[in-house]
Amino acid sequence: MLTYENFVSVLLGVIERSGLNIAYTQELLDTHALGRSLSITCLPDGVSDDSSPQEPPLRAVVAFRWSPEFTVFSLRGAESLDNIERFVDERLFAQPRGGPSMEIEATYHLPVDEEQHELRSLSAVAQAVQALHSGLVEDDEIVRVESVIAFGAGGPARVQSITAQRAWSIDEALYDSDLLAITFEELCAELHAMLQLLHAHFGLAENSAPPESLTIDRRYLKPPTA
């Protein structure tokens, strides 16, 4: 099985070669169970991150979690997992031991303007997003659209956020860097195409004023483990 470092190196290499507009990355370490996670935020072509307190309104985030089980398996083999249940969350073993399997999630965050804040527009937005995605994938792979709705005191319900999610299953590719690269190439091609479609359909007007920038150094840097 590939190590976390191998996995991240293949993923970032494919993303860079694909020409995706990477804004920034975030790598986290769970200090309790020693699991790791990585998220990579990408923007439509020609759009730059203004480093304001708010994240870019239209963006795609590729993310995955690397469990402690994966680290042990990749470094010491399956035999070393015999007693690992004593040390890590039992939920890691909810599935049969058919070998490691994981999912990479691609989440598209859509801008919510004044009109889209209205609850009645939510269904139309969801249908438009799924119609755009249906031109890129099979029917059973169309993104799932989710929304957060806020209920203010004495006010109408308002849409706070809209996201569309697509999960990619990684199984045999965890053992083969070439197969993993092919999987990531398909992911990146779809991600790039969908970002451009969403930008053309939902992107903010070019004359809209961006939020005031801060002196935050939020930019693309390779994680130190890559």
pLDDT one-digit tens code per residue, 176-199: 999 999 999 999 999 999 999 999
Domains of the chain, by residue range, sit at 4-110+166-202
- On the question of pLDDT at 213 being above 70, the answer is no
Pairing of strands 144-151, 21-29: unpaired
Strand arrangement of the beta sheet that strand 144-151 belongs to: 21-29, 36-43, 59-66, 102-110, 157-170, 144-151
7-35 pLDDT tens trace: 999 999 999 999 999 998 899 988 887 78
Q: Are 157 and 151 in contact (CB under 8 A)?
A: yes
99-108 pLDDT tens trace: 567 899 999 9
Q: Which residue did the predictor score with more confidence, 213 or 63?
A: 63
Tokens matching residue 59: 């963006």
Helices (H), the chain: 4-18, 68-76, 122-134, 177-202
Give the residue-averaged pLDDT of 147-169: 89
SS3 185: helix
pLDDT score for 209: 45
